[in-house]
């Protein structure tokens, strides 16, 4: 469902779902490496550096998008 308890498995899916929801224009991304190509939709922002357990944001949490393209 795209919640803290049950996040989407891919950034692509999260972005697609944010486009269809009138109030979700930010995609919050937990620390980790994401091996996928990201195409941001107009009006959607990605925000990384979130702890995957507490969802607290910190510069110590590294979020990497490693596009295979």
Position 30 scores a pLDDT of 96
Per-residue model confidence as pLDDT tens digits over 5-52 = 999 999 999 999 999 988 889 999 999 999 999 999 999 999 999 999
Q: What are phi and psi of 31, to 5 degrees?
A: -60, 145
Neighbours of 15 (CB within 10 A): 19
Position 35 scores a pLDDT of 97
Position 23 scores a pLDDT of 86
Q: What is the pTM (predicted TM-score) of this model?
A: 0.88
Which positions ≥6 away from 5 have C-beta within 8 Å?
A: none
Q: What distance lies between CA 23 and its chain's CA centroid?
A: 16
Cα separation, 49 vs 62, in Å, equals 5
């Amino acid at each position: 469902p795209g919640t803290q308890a049950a996040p989407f498995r891919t950034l692509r899916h999260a972005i697609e779902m944010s486009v269809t929801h009138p109030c979700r224009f930010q995609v919050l991304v937990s620390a980790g490496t994401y091996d996928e190509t990201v195409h941001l939709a107009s009006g959607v922002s990605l925000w990384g550096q979130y702890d995957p357990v507490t969802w607290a944001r910190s510069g110590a949490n590294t979020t990497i998008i490693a596009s295979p393209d």
